[in-house]
Amino acid sequence: MIIDKAEVIVTSPDRNFVTLRITTDDGLVGIGDATLNGRELAVVAYLQEHVAPLLLGADASRIEDMWQFLYRGAYWRRGPVTMAAIAAVDMALWDIKGKAAGMPVYQLLGGASRDGLMAYGHASGKELPEIFDSIRAHQEKGFRSIRVQTGVPGLKAIYGIASQGADVGDGSVRYDHEPARRGARPTQEDWDTRAYLRHIPTVFEAVRNEFGPELPLLHDGHHRMTPLQAAKLAKSLEPYDLFWLEDCTPAENQEALKLVRQASTTPLAIGEIFNTYWDYKDIIANQLIDYVRSAVTHTGGISHMKKLMDYAAMFQIKSGFHGPTDVSPVGMAAAMHLGLAIHNFGIQEYMQHGERTNQVFRQTFTWNDGYLHPGDEPGLGVTLDVDEAGKYPYEQAYLPFNRLADGTVHDW
């Protein structure tokens, strides 16, 4: 199992995806996701220029050793670019190991701890009728847990609203569909925290009244509040019994979460922009979060995330792995295998890729009655169709950003 080829494939069917494809001398092929939304080519260069030459001639079966070599051997540690690159290598090697063993990756991680993975989808709307319709549409698609994002009176464009986005080709509209954002400059959105804090509880009250107490509801604050504002938000949403409130405040300032905790019992989810378990060390030990939001793609791959989740398990903290459409189907599959195997799985985000993406990445996962399952093909269960991928060249794209009314840049 000697690596004799390591290729980086960039494709942009609905949005940009970066995939590492490793081939061994005995003909096994493994793929890994290295997509870092809006900064894709930095990871491509890291992989192509610095990692691929080190992979050639290496033993593909030594996953942990390769991880440590790439992490410690670079001297420069952590960071989204490094950790996405290492994640792709790690995923590709697990894919190869599964194929060599004739087993799906979850079997190699200890086997299934459950029958399927409860997943949540993204409902949204500018106003209540649109939000209600969107929740119903998600329920019809099988979702049993639903994230709700809302417009705010007075604000023109805001994170998470699908009707601001574009059609992905299968009739569904996404807020973050990249072609809508493509262009030389990032789009500007607007933000007003006080208006948001006033409006948001009224929306959750209306949603609870309409859909009853059972439906698990989630919400993403997308890093916009100060600690005190985050505490106010968590407290004001408490009557609506959220499954979680995500990224209520930028998590670089981890001490701040103590304030949020003291103010409310709304469960907190954090970590989609973290990239190692070091980022979680204190907030887990101090019991300041309830769900780990990392993506396998951005946090060093399956090997590193398994360690993170085992550490979190000691504190009764569960997984809520990041699963937006900018995590490729390969990264999603890795999350599903890991989620199926670990005991402390919580929920999986599942935004659903568009038709073109599903043609490029052939997948074996199943989606039944609100539950995902990665399938039982050896490895990760995803095949990259290189010819199909070649039809969609890279297009420069940026995430949007925010300015306040006076022109100040604010967290997006």
257-316 residues near ligand GCO, rule: CB under 6 A: 272
270-309 residues near Mg ion, rule: CB under 5 A: 272
Could you say which of ligand GCO, Mg ion, none residue 326 binds, taking C-beta under 5 to 8 angstroms by partner kind? ligand GCO
Q: How far is the CB of 269 from Mg ion (least distance, A)?
A: 8
Q: How far is the CB of 323 from ligand GCO (least distance, A)?
A: 7
Closer CB to ligand GCO, 84 or 256, in the complex: 84
Could you say which of ligand GCO, Mg ion, none residue 33 binds, taking C-beta under 5 to 8 angstroms by partner kind? none
Torsion of the alpha carbons at 329, 73, 306 and 26, rounded to the nearest 10: 60
Does 343 qualify as catalytic in the annotation? no
Closer CB to ligand GCO, 97 or 318, in the complex: 318
Tokens of 278: 């070091």
Give the Cα separation of 89 and 351 in Å (integer): 24
239-258 residues near ligand GCO, rule: CB under 6 A: 246
Closer CB to ligand GCO, 74 or 399, in the complex: 399
Across the chain, how many H-helices and E-strands are there? 14, 20
349 contacts ligand GCO (rule: CB under 6 A) = yes
Q: Please, are residues 261 and 224 in contact by the beta-carbon 8 Å criterion?
A: no
37 contacts ligand GCO (rule: CB under 6 A) = yes
Q: Please, are residues 253 and 274 in contact by the beta-carbon 8 Å criterion?
A: no
Give the Cα separation of 258 and 112 in Å (integer): 35
326 contacts Mg ion (rule: CB under 5 A) = no
349 contacts Mg ion (rule: CB under 5 A) = no
9-28 residues near ligand GCO, rule: CB under 6 A: none
With b for 16 or more beta-carbon neighbours within 10 A and e for fewer, the 159-172 pattern comes to bbbbebbbebeeeb
121 three-state secondary structure: strand
Upper half-sphere CA count for residue 155 (Cβ side, 13 Å): 25
220 contacts ligand GCO (rule: CB under 6 A) = yes
Eight-state DSSP code of residue 186: P
Give the Cα separation of 296 and 341 in Å (integer): 14
83-142 residues near ligand GCO, rule: CB under 6 A: none
Q: How far is the CB of 269 from ligand GCO (least distance, A)?
A: 9
Give the Cα separation of 313 and 68 in Å (integer): 23
Q: How far is the CB of 295 from ligand GCO (least distance, A)?
A: 8
Outline where DSSP puts E strands in 25-130. 29-33, 117-125
220 contacts Mg ion (rule: CB under 5 A) = yes
Calculate the alpha carbon distances from 62 to 68, 146, 176, 275, 284 in Å: 10, 40, 37, 22, 29
Q: How far is the CB of 177 from ligand GCO (least distance, A)?
A: 12
Q: What are phi and psi of 30, to 5 degrees?
A: -125, 145
Does 71 qualify as catalytic in the annotation? no
357 contacts ligand GCO (rule: CB under 6 A) = no
Tokens of 129: 């009728």
309-328 residues near ligand GCO, rule: CB under 6 A: 322, 324, 326
Eight-state DSSP code of residue 381: S
Region binding Mg ion by CB under 5 A among candidate stretches 20-28, 55-63, 265-273, 355-363: 265-273
Q: How far is the CB of 93 from ligand GCO (least distance, A)?
A: 25
Site of interaction with ligand GCO (CB under 6 A): 37, 176, 220, 222, 246, 272, 322, 324, 326, 349, 399
As annotated, the active-site residues are 159, 222
Site of interaction with Mg ion (CB under 5 A): 220, 272
